[in-house]
Amino acid sequence: MAGWVQAMTALVCLSLGSNLGDRAEYLRRALEAVAALPDTRLVAQSSIHETAPWGVTEQPSFLNLAAEIETALGPLELLNAVKALELRLGRTPGPQWGPRVVDIDLVLWQDVVMETDALTLPHPRFRERAFVLLPLREIAPDAVDPVTGRTVAELAATLDSC
C-alpha cells in the first residue's frame, strides 16, 4: 500500500455494472483497478446482484455491485480516473444506458453536493435505481443522501415496497 495517504481523504460510494462478456471478471478487474488508483483504498464491496437493464431494456442483464472507497483524489480527478479505467478495460462509446463491458459511477461523496457539466453528486438518479441502492445498502446502509437527508437504507426501503 505504498503511497497511501490518510490525511484529507473522503469516503466515496461507487456503483459498478457490466452486461457484456465475462461480467463477473470485468467487475473484479474494475474493483482491482479502482483500488490501485493513487491514494485510494477499497473499504468494502457488496455481493454481486443480477439485474434487468434500465433505460434501454433490449439488452443482456447486468451484474451490479457497490463499493466504498477511501480516497485523497478530488471528485473530478476520481471521475476522470474511473472513466479512463473503463476505457482500459474495454468499454467503447455507445448509446446512453446501452450495453457495456463495465460502468463505474460515483454515487455519494460524503456530504458533498455539486453539479458541473462533467459530474453531479450525489448521482442524480441513484434514488430510483434498485440496482444501485440494494447493493449499496449491504455496505453503507447509514450513508446519508445530503440532498434528501435520508439514509441509503431508507431510500432502498421505498423500492422494496414497490
User: Which residues are the active-site residues?
Assistant: 91, 100, 103, 105
| CA neighbor of 50 nearest in space, from 38, 63, 31 | 63
- The grid coordinates of residue 48 equal 454481486
